[in-house]
A = this chain, B = another copy of it.
Amino acid sequence: MAQTTDPATNPVTNSRRAELLAIAARLFAEKGFKNTTVRDIADAAGILSGSLYHHFDSKESMVDEILRTFQEELFGQYDEILAGDLDPRAKLERAVVVSFEAIDKHRDEVAIFQNEAAHLLTFDRFAYLADRNQQSREVWLTLLRNGVDAGVLRDDLDLELTYRFIRDTVWVAVSWYRPGGRRTHTEIARQYLSILLEGIRS
C-alpha cells in the first residue's frame, strides 16, 4: 500500500475507478450488497474478480466510497437550501424537489442507502451513516419548525412524525421511480408537494 498517489483522487486512475464504482453501485442497488458477489461486479466489468483488488481494498470499501461521495453532494445541497434566503415554505418545497432530483440522478446510490444503511450501520466503519441520518433529521426538522414559526404550517403537527412521513415517502420512491418513465421526477415532486403542503399548511 505504499502508493504515492491516492487512487481515489488521482485523476488518471479515477476514470476507471468511477466506472467500476458505477457498475458496482448498479448491482448493489439491483440485487443488494450481500447478494452481489465480487465476481458479479468483475464479470460486469469484463475482468476477473481478483483484478478488482488493484482498484479497491475490499467490497466494503466500494460501498463505502459510493455512499460517502453521494452523501457529500446531497448534504451540500441541503446546506445551500438552509443557508439560502427563500421563505420557509419555498425552502421545504425546494428540499423535496432536490431529494427527488437525487433519486433521478443517483438512483443506485439512493437505493443502496435506502436498503443497506440499516445493516451497514452496525459496523464501525459505517458509523458515519448514523451521523448523516441525524443530520438529515435536523435539516427537515429545521425546515418544518421554521414553517410553523412563520405561521405557514399547522401548529398542531407532531413534527417528529411529520418529518418521518416526508423522509419515508420521498426516499422510498426510489424503489418504483424509473427515469424516463411516464412521470418525471419533477412531476412526482409536484404531486407530492400538492398533497403534503395542503395537508400541513396552517
Contact = CB atoms under 8 A, between A and B. Distances in A.
Interface of A: 1-2, 31-32, 34-35, 43-44, 46-47, 115, 118-119, 157-158, 161-162, 164-165, 168-169, 172-173, 175-176, 183, 188, 191-192, 194-200
A44 B192 CA distance: 43
11 contacts: A1-B46, A2-B46, A31-B119, A32-B119, A35-B119, A157-B191, A158-B191, A164-B173, A168-B172, A168-B173, A199-B199
Chain A binding surface SS class? helix
Contact of A34 (B32, B157, B168, B196): B32
Nearest to A193: B199
A69 B43 CA distance: 28
B191 A161 contact: yes
A125 to B, nearest CB: 16
Contact of A165 (B34, B158, B192, B200): B192
Stoichiometry, copies per complex: 4
Nearest to A161: B191
B47 A2 contact: yes
A188 B169 contact: no
Given A1-B46, A161-B188, A197-B199, 9 more contacts: A31-B119, A157-B191, A158-B183, A161-B191, A164-B173, A165-B195, A168-B172, A169-B169, A195-B200
Contact of A44 (B1, B46, B194, B196): B1
A195 to B, nearest CB: 4
Contacts of A199: 194-200
A175 B118 contact: yes
